[in-house]
Chains A and B, each alone.
Chain A
Amino acid sequence: MTASMQSSVGNPADEKRGMNLTLRIWRQKDPSVKGKMVTYKVSDISPDMSFLEMLDVLNEQLIMQGDDPVAFDHDCREGICGMCGLMINGQAHGPQQTTTCQLHMRSFKDGDKIDIEPWRASPFPVIKDLAVDRRAFDRIIQAGGYISVPTGTAPEAHATPVPKADSDAAFDAATCIGCGACVAACPNASSMLFTAAKVTHLGLLPQGQPERDDRVVNMVAQQDREGFGGCTNIGECSAACPKGISMETISRLNHDLLGALRAGARPKS
């Protein structure tokens, strides 16, 4: 890192190493009309720009020309909020296993053609261009992604011990930021990895035990109701997940669900 920065300062030839790119972007005015891919050209893109900054450059260009800028979701731009999410050259969040905001233009080279599409799933309808409505995830969370805690003074910290291995695994699952890359990458448009991350996160901790059976049954019922596809254990989700949530969580969800149904838990209608 340091070495490359020094060389770029010392070498004047590197000053002009901006990239020229051809972008094919999905443009769709609103949910009711059909969209299509539109080709744009951007020039002098620095390899140090993030992918979103490159799109900012394009949008400034479009505004200057009096055209409609490309709508895309983004918020923190530091890889923790899960708002940004684009299908870049057929991969969720592009060629690196990270969020779109943390993908940098150094992953591309001069002259590249880049296809940019929104997440495609019927529960994620396109709002405009590349922005999709992911409230289906919120409703899955509402169906069971919570625990009951009595209000009042904070409980004594050592009252509920948690084994280190469990807390680590729960935390790994809790790193899910709900970006939707799993759904976007899945050939079935299944939200299994997302739901499984939530079920694993809460189900491994003692605080999550009272609602454990109802949680898994209701969250799975909700994801079916939203119209997501079923899981075929192909693994595209985990490979695309910027937080590297593992397929193990899906097995845990299935285990919990089948156990809960045997124990008589039924989804709320």
Chain B
Amino acid sequence: MSCVTTCLVGGKAPVVLAWGLVVTVTHAGRRTPKVAKTNSVVKKAVMAISGIVMVLYLIAHMIGNLKVFTGAESFNHYSEWIRTIGTPAVPEQTTLWIIRIALLVAVVAHFWAAVSLWRQAKRARPERYVTKKAVAQSYASRTMRWGGVIVLLFIVYHILDLTTGTVNPDGDASPYDRLVASFSNPFVTAFYVISLVLLGMHLRHGIWSATQTLGQSNRRRERTVNAFAIVFSTVLIAGFLIVPFSVLFGLVD
């Protein structure tokens, strides 16, 4: 393999030698599979850890959202506080941007690992079964990939809606008014509900999968981990959903 490459590139032999380390190892008589340069388990660990970072943020986000029930003034004040954490020691929005950058890194890492493993799985089974029966998989585990893509699109919309106000009907208003304006539209609320339910299922399998990937599961803990994953994702998503539903039913206006 490396000989062929060397011959083709000719004069650049030393560079090719250095590249030789990443060149695919071939087995006689077999088509060479495209080799994953990063260990697949490492990719999964990246996925698990970036997932945990995002879950920790979601917990804080959900609790923060509940401030909406303490009234417009309190909610807007909370929103203002997030932008001024650490001031005057640091410039305004410093803490916020640290959180944003950490989250962006987590999203990119999570997405990179997912796409890379997705492609690896596609390459591993180019010819599909004519008949395939699922025995053990849950709906949550089956919807991880496309569910994840929908959740990503939702996050983009969510930022344009409530953070930047670009697609919000009341974009220049206070955070509280923006929230009410957005959720007064039943279609927006429906999109939020669907995305959050998908996110809940993503977390239900994700928590279990991350525990396995980081090597923290065993036969004894399996039931507890799964029970925790179900309870945690249900409580978290219920905490998020209560806000749009309260707007929809006129409890918050």
Contact = CB atoms under 8 A, between A and B. Distances in A.
A221 B21 CA distance: 13
Given A139-B27, A232-B141, A254 B39 contact: no
A254 B222 contact: no
Secondary structure type dominating chain A contacts: mixed
B25 A251 contact: no
A224 B35 CA distance: 7
A221 B39 contact: yes
Interface stretch (A9-17, A68-76, A256-264): A256-264
A122 to B, nearest CB: 6
B98 to A, nearest CB: 27
A258 B129 contact: no
Interface string B209-238: 101111111110010000000000000000
A190 B212 contact: no
B42 A230 contact: no
Interface string B114-125: 000100110111
Given A248-B218, A254-B41, A188 B34 contact: no
Contact of A122 (B39, B42, B43, B125): B125
A257 B217 contact: no
Contacts of B216: 251, 255
A256 B215 CA distance: 8
A204 interface: no
A122 B215 contact: no
A253 B138 CA distance: 23
Secondary structure type dominating chain B contacts: loop
B134 interface: yes
A236 B81 CA distance: 48
Interface string B19-39: 001001101001101111001
A232 B138 CA distance: 12
B178 interface: no
A230 B44 contact: yes
A164 B33 CA distance: 42
Nearest to A254: B215
A117 B209 CA distance: 30
A227 B33 contact: yes
A90 B124 contact: no
Interface in B104-148: 117, 120-121, 123-138, 141-142, 144
Interface stretch (A48-56, A154-162, A238-246): A238-246
B123 A190 contact: no
A51 to B, nearest CB: 16
A91 B121 contact: no
A226 B130 CA distance: 24
Interface size range on B against A: 35 or more
Contacts of A234: 136-138, 141-142
B163 interface: no
Given A115-B130, A220-B40, A230 B25 contact: no
Contacts of B203: none
A235 interface: yes
Contacts of A117: 129-131
A205 interface: no
A228 interface: yes
A235 B136 contact: yes
A248 B121 contact: no
A236 B137 contact: yes
A269 interface: yes
A233 interface: yes
Given A220-B40, A232-B141, A185 B135 contact: yes
Nearest to B117: A230
B215 A258 contact: yes
A130 interface: no
A230 B212 contact: no
A229 to B, nearest CB: 4
Given A185-B135, A261-B42, A254 B212 contact: yes
A267 B222 CA distance: 30
Contact of A233 (B42, B133, B209): B209
A188 B218 CA distance: 22
Given A91-B135, A220-B41, A248-B222, A227 B217 contact: no
A140 to B, nearest CB: 12
B121 A230 contact: yes
Residue from A24, A121, A224 whose CB has the most chain B CB atoms within 10 Å? A224
17 contacts: A26-B130, A87-B131, A89-B133, A91-B133, A122-B124, A229-B125, A231-B213, A232-B209, A233-B141, A236-B134, A239-B135, A247-B212, A248-B222, A251-B215, A255-B216, A257-B39, A261-B42
Nearest 8 pairs between A and B by C-beta?
A255-B215, A227-B33, A90-B133, A229-B124, A229-B121, A188-B121, A189-B124, A239-B136
